[in-house]
Amino acid sequence: MFDDARALVGSAPPPISIDEFRSRQSRLFSQIGSDEIVILCSSPETIHSNDVHHPYRSQSDMIYLTGWYEPESVMFAECIDGVWKVTLFVQPKDTLKEIWEGRRPGVEGALKDWAVDFAYPIGDLRSRLGDAISRCSKVHHQTGIRNEIDSIVTDAIQLRGRARQMNGSGPVGIEDPSAKIAELRLRKSPAEIEQMRHASIISSIAHEAAMRSSMSGRTENQIQAIIEGFFVFAGTSGWAYPSIVGCGENATILHYKENNSPCGDDEIILIDAGSEFRGYASDITRSWPINGKFTDAQKELYQLVLDSQEAAIAECKVGNPFNAPHEAARRVLAEGLIKLGVITQNLEESLDNENGQLKNWYMHNTSHWIGLDVHDVGIYKPNGEPRLFESGMCLTVEPGLYFGSWRPDVDCPERYSNIGIRIEDDVLITESGPDVLTSSCPKTIAEIESIVGKSF
Ligand code: GLY
Ligand code: MN
Ligand code: MN
């Protein structure tokens, strides 16, 4: 099955260029004083058990500004004679370590293939950074990621503070640069969009493969294996977030994690799974009957969620506020549930955030930004008002309905008992309207019924 599907993925786009990393760096440095410095660090490695590490994934800000994915690394930038220079501190090449743990680009590799001006072994960090901090007026550094880097910064600042006490010029301050970087990351470049589109295509095919492998008697984990197997087969680094694979009442648990139940013959399976390609996330949810045929009740809810999603996607337009898709989805869902007799309030009452009945069945937001992080950075309400969409912004659109009859807090209508449906796509805002990056993933009732259980 995968051999045929591989042909559908197409070739991968070129990686982000060195020039683009330089331009990202320049856009950040243009907002920083010339006597200030910037420090970014890689995420710490985390332990699965004893000497086994979790798969490593660095900090997205570090990836965004340098493209450097290795652990135990720090980026540092300062302005020398009016020109910003970027230094990377990295794990040096070490044959014995590389025999055990894998290849390292080292100092030489960093200088040759990355957008940096200088590179040094990570062991030099304390002395070189200390020197730089002693010369600067402010350190842009996000504390709380790596304690040892925080202590280098605070120790150097304290030393500097004492020196400054002598000449009265006051202490050096620390400022978190992440809000400035988030504003840059919020607007995706054409090259970034191509990475995201590639991840989205792979995730779309993975969902289709999962649909095709569905049949009565499958278990959630078997379907999960198909989807995640395809992520790796197609050349991504794997999932962008742990997959949610839930059948029947498990589909009504928003962040269901166990993924280990057998699927009942007449149940809907809800899969929220997306791959990560060169650090960029995709995020898709599809819901389908495991046996390939929607019941009438499942169809009623499915079509309603799909209608609400299409109404929400139509709101993804330049100049619209960020909450426009959410409000459109809520309105369609509430109108539909009133027609189906589930909601007994009038439309306006049902939409009330405190006492409206809609939130019994639709309790989450419709959208989040997506990019290097699946829940990407970027303030939703700058100055307290919803942000207006601009070309290049990417968000998910993911309405759903969840009728868990196990819930003690609501009376679940018998007809819809234990049906959970979410439909999620990734949308790029463009001047010519919404561009759905995940549009190749099947989602109409007719498409799904013609695909489930049928091989490629
Ligand atoms: N996959 C997590 C989410 O949809 O937000
Ligand atoms: Mn999402
Ligand atoms: Mn999702």
**Which protein residues have their CB within 5 A of the ion that is ligand 3?**
272, 283, 285, 424
396 Cα to the center of ligand 2, angstroms: 6
- Closest ligand 1 atom, residue 424 Cα: 4
Give the model's pLDDT for residue 133: 87
272 CB under 6 A from ligand 1? yes
CA of 128 to the centre of ligand 1 (A): 41
398 among known catalytic residues: yes
Closest protein CA for atom 3 of ligand 1: 283
pLDDT at residue number 205? 96
283 lines ligand 1 (CB under 6 A): yes
What per-residue confidence (pLDDT) applies to 1?
A: 61
Q: Is the CB of 398 under 6 A from ligand 1?
A: yes
Mark whether 48 is an active-site residue. Answer: no
402 part of the active site: yes
Q: What's the pTM value of the predicted model, to 2 decimals?
A: 0.96
Q: Residue 399 Cα, ligand 3 centroid: separation in angstroms? A: 10
Q: What kind of architecture, by CATH, is found in domain 33-176?
A: 3-Layer(aba) Sandwich (3.40)
- For each of the chain's 456 residues, which pLDDT tens digit applies? 666 666 788 999 999 999 999 999 999 999 999 999 999 999 999 999 998 999 999 999 999 999 999 999 999 999 999 999 999 999 999 999 999 999 999 999 999 999 999 999 999 999 999 888 888 889 999 999 999 999 988 888 888 766 666 665 545 789 999 999 999 999 999 999 999 999 999 999 999 999 999 999 999 999 999 999 999 999 999 999 999 999 999 999 999 999 999 999 999 999 999 999 999 999 999 999 999 999 999 999 999 999 999 999 999 999 999 999 999 999 999 999 999 999 999 999 999 999 999 999 999 999 999 999 999 999 999 999 999 999 999 999 999 999 999 999 999 999 999 999 999 999 999 999 999 999 999 999 999 999 999 988
Answer yes or no: are the C-beta atoms of 38 and 177 closer than 8 Å.
yes
**Known active-site residue 198:** no
What pLDDT does 134 receive?
82
Specify the pLDDT at position 7. Answer: 78
Domain boundaries, the chain: 33-176, 185-451
Say how many Å lie between the first and final Cα of the chain, rounded. 6
pLDDT given for residue 401 in this prediction: 98
Measured CA to CA, the distance from residue 171 to residue 152 in angstroms comes to 16
- Which CATH fold topology does 185-451 show? Creatine Amidinohydrolase (3.90.230)
CA–centroid distance, residue 234 to ligand 2 (Å): 22
The catalytic residue among 140, 278, 286, 368 is: 368
Distance 108 CA to ligand 2 centre (A): 39
> What is the predicted pLDDT for the residue at 170?
45
Residue 166: predicted pLDDT: 65
Residue 368 annotated among the catalytic residues of the structure: yes
Catalytic residue, candidates 72, 208, 272, 315: 272
Q: Name the one residue in this structure whose structure tokens are 């409000």.
A: 327
